[in-house]
Amino acid sequence: MTSHQPIILALTGGIACGKSETGRILEEQGFAVLDTDFLAHQLMKAGGPVFQRVVEQFGDQVIGIDGEINRAALGKIVFEDPAALEDLNRQVHPAVIDAAEQWKSNQNGDAAVMVPLLFETGWIDPWDAIICVSADERTVFQRLEKRGLNEADARRRVAAQMPLDEKEKRADFIIRNSGTLDALHEQVCSTIQRIRNQRNTE
């Protein structure tokens, strides 16, 4: 248990902006952190609640030789076809939100839920604060290139999400992560303190 009133954060932002690293820093600061991308992958495992729906929607072409969803094959389909991406989101997001809400209800201390598509899914919740992790375009594409994506694929991934400036407008706090890890760490810690100070004055 924390000595202060626990806070529940939503952590969102653009692709390759540093949400995962921000989540690790929050864990260092004592937060329980749930990664909804990881949760979605678990729910999509063979035998899981979402697996069959995805296969029925996209066919056996998305099943790998190990019998699991081939994320690369699925990604190629949905990031080249906005309608297919919407179909996938309709299959996956309700189950993810339900599981994440159950996780939240079991937390007794500070907690953060990493939700890349928070605004896109319309997940309006009584969060204590929404943090958007942002980075400049050049940094984002450099990071995606390091992940093995060519420029065309990278641009499709970025275009599939809500524009980053729109996410920033909707968030309560913005963390700009185009610099060093030390700079990110400092911003995360200062943002947490600002949120705590805000809570203490309410």
| Residues of each annotated binding site for ATP | 16-21
Tokens coding 5: 């009133």
**Across the beta sheet with 129-134, what order do the strands follow?**
32-35, 111-114, 8-13, 129-134, 173-176
- Among 39, 47, 99, 94, CA closest to 69: 47
Taking the alpha carbons at both ends of the chain, their separation in whole angstroms is 21
Helix (H, G, I), strand (E, B) or coil at 94: helix
Tokens coding 88: 């996938």
Binding residues: 16-21
How far is residue 50's CA from residue 166's CA, in Å, rounded to a whole number?
30
Helices (H), 44-173: 51-58, 71-78, 82-105, 137-146, 151-159, 164-170
Helix (H, G, I), strand (E, B) or coil at 188: helix
- Kindly report the number of other CB atoms within 10 A of residue 176's CB atom: 17
Tokens coding 127: 């969060």
